[in-house]
Chains A and B, each alone.
Chain A
């Protein structure tokens, strides 16, 4: 009965031209594909509207200007798209690309709710030139102190300074900043999920 499993297909870098396939609006390709992943939460989805922005830095502290991120999150009640009761307009998934000059990326969404014991968070997956296999990380919110203290993922990070790399800083109401460091001092925590 127990057959040996098939072997996974190996990952390869998305390379610098990922946009023409996955984020055509960034590549200034107006055809043939209509973009996917531009609306994480449609206008009728309830929840606190937020903007998240940041820059991905390499080991020389230079912005990574060719990165693409995918976002996967729960709604304000902690439900993922497809769960019972989740609004049809809530996709919970999106794509954004870094600006070719500044490396700044941003997305608009609703602030996710707690899922059980887990603090509100957004899963991020990062690909770029020079990244052989996509990097999984998580964004938490620095104004959710109580929930963050009880979060099992944050607790699993052995060092509190490292856990701090997963914290988005509130810049002002509705705006959070989340910089990602691929290497060196303040290197962001990446997960094997």
Chain B
């Protein structure tokens, strides 16, 4: 056990979710072993602006060859907090996604939708002091995947958050408010709780839109908090 709050298995997906077929051969069958007190890592890697390029957060610009990428321009923004609602500042947030047609710029993606020469589909940034992050990107398209003979992923953006310690490490996916594919997707439905699925849904944030430029969606992220004892002994007053 680390100095972080225990994982909340009401919220987190179990390893085995048979409707998502690949889990059948990849889910460990034994329960996780709780690491003894004081043995889990408490820290994790730290990143600085020197690790990033100037356009890393701007997917509308960072792969431009001969013009702007095609699709619905959006600002994706939000905050990274811990369970005590404290900002997780200076943490690395990385995103990857399909283009507007639902195709990834990846050697193994052979979907017939075309690549967009001006869209790479990946970005990263560091959160600010308030835990805030911002990406400019496109709304990705849905795409088919070989789970059953007619499976489609809802439009989604993959999000990786480093956190302030290795136990906080999280990869998730954000979805878009109102997408009718959300309730049909076994990857989404691996999450056992409807409100937890709701919190994976980015909300239209019209107030943050740039008129005549891009719409905005808001997606807040909550990482495991620190356990109270450690909180009082070590972190309070930092």
**Contact call B28/A6, Cβ cutoff below 8 A:** no
Task: Identify which of residues 31-87 in chain B touch chain A, using a CB-to-CB cut-off of 8 Å.
Answer: 32-36, 39-41, 43-47, 51, 53, 55-56, 62-63, 81-85
CA distance A118 to B35 in the complex (A): 12
B133 CB, nearest partner CB in chain A, Å = 13
Task: Identify which of residues 160-195 in chain B touch chain A, using a CB-to-CB cut-off of 8 Å.
Answer: 160, 166-167, 169-173, 187-188, 190-191, 193, 195
* Inter-chain contacts of B130 with A (CB < 8 A): none
Partner of A187, one of B30, B81, B187, B193: B30
* Inter-chain contacts of A7 with B (CB < 8 A): 8, 11, 83, 195-196, 199, 222
Task: Identify which of residues 117-164 in chain A touch chain B, using a CB-to-CB cut-off of 8 Å.
Answer: 118, 123, 125, 127-136, 152-153, 156-158, 162
**Contact call A21/B95, Cβ cutoff below 8 A:** yes
User: B26 an interface residue at 8 Å Cβ cutoff?
Assistant: yes
**Contact call A125/B187, Cβ cutoff below 8 A:** no
- How many residues on chain B are close to A (CB under 8 Å)? 86
**Contact call B15/A132, Cβ cutoff below 8 A:** yes
Partner of A12, one of B30, B123, B167, B173: B173
B181 CB, nearest partner CB in chain A, Å = 14
**Contact call B199/A32, Cβ cutoff below 8 A:** no
User: A51 an interface residue at 8 Å Cβ cutoff?
Assistant: no
- The interface residues of chain A, by DSSP majority, are classed as loop
**Contact call A123/B41, Cβ cutoff below 8 A:** yes
B67 CB, nearest partner CB in chain A, Å = 16
A134-B171 contact given A16-B108, A58-B26, CB 8 Å threshold? yes
User: B223 an interface residue at 8 Å Cβ cutoff?
Assistant: yes
Task: Identify which of residues 1-40 in chain B touch chain A, using a CB-to-CB cut-off of 8 Å.
Answer: 1-2, 5-8, 11-15, 17, 20-30, 32-36, 39-40
CA distance A125 to B123 in the complex (A): 21
CA distance A128 to B7 in the complex (A): 20
B24 CB, nearest partner CB in chain A, Å = 7
User: A111 an interface residue at 8 Å Cβ cutoff?
Assistant: no
Among A5, A8, A31, A58: residue with most chain B CB under 10 A? A8
Partner of A193, one of B1, B84, B225: B1
**A1-13: contact bitstring with B at CB < 8 Å (1 yes, 0 no)?**
0010111111111
Which of A22-30, A42-50, A102-110, A169-177 is found at the contact surface with chain B? A22-30
**Contact call B107/A27, Cβ cutoff below 8 A:** yes
**Contact call A70/B33, Cβ cutoff below 8 A:** no
CA distance A157 to B225 in the complex (A): 26
**A71-95: contact bitstring with B at CB < 8 Å (1 yes, 0 no)?**
0100000001110000000011100
User: B139 an interface residue at 8 Å Cβ cutoff?
Assistant: no
User: B121 an interface residue at 8 Å Cβ cutoff?
Assistant: yes
CA distance A82 to B81 in the complex (A): 22
- List 10 extra interface pairs beyond A13-B190, A19-B106, A136-B167, CB under 8 A: A6-B84, A8-B11, A10-B197, A22-B160, A32-B56, A33-B122, A92-B45, A130-B26, A153-B39, A191-B35
Q: Which 10 pairs between the two chains have the least Cβ-Cβ distance?
A: A21-B96, A130-B22, A93-B45, A130-B26, A5-B83, A32-B62, A193-B40, A132-B13, A192-B32, A59-B25
A-B contact pairs, 26 of them (CB 8 A): A3-B85, A6-B83, A7-B8, A7-B196, A8-B7, A9-B172, A11-B13, A12-B191, A14-B171, A16-B106, A18-B171, A29-B122, A33-B53, A33-B120, A33-B123, A93-B45, A118-B39, A123-B41, A123-B166, A133-B12, A156-B39, A182-B27, A189-B33, A191-B35, A192-B7, A192-B32
List the interface of chain B (C-beta within 8 A of A). Answer: 1-2, 5-8, 11-15, 17, 20-30, 32-36, 39-41, 43-47, 51, 53, 55-56, 62-63, 81-85, 92, 94-96, 104-109, 120-124, 158, 160, 166-167, 169-173, 187-188, 190-191, 193, 195-197, 199-200, 221-225
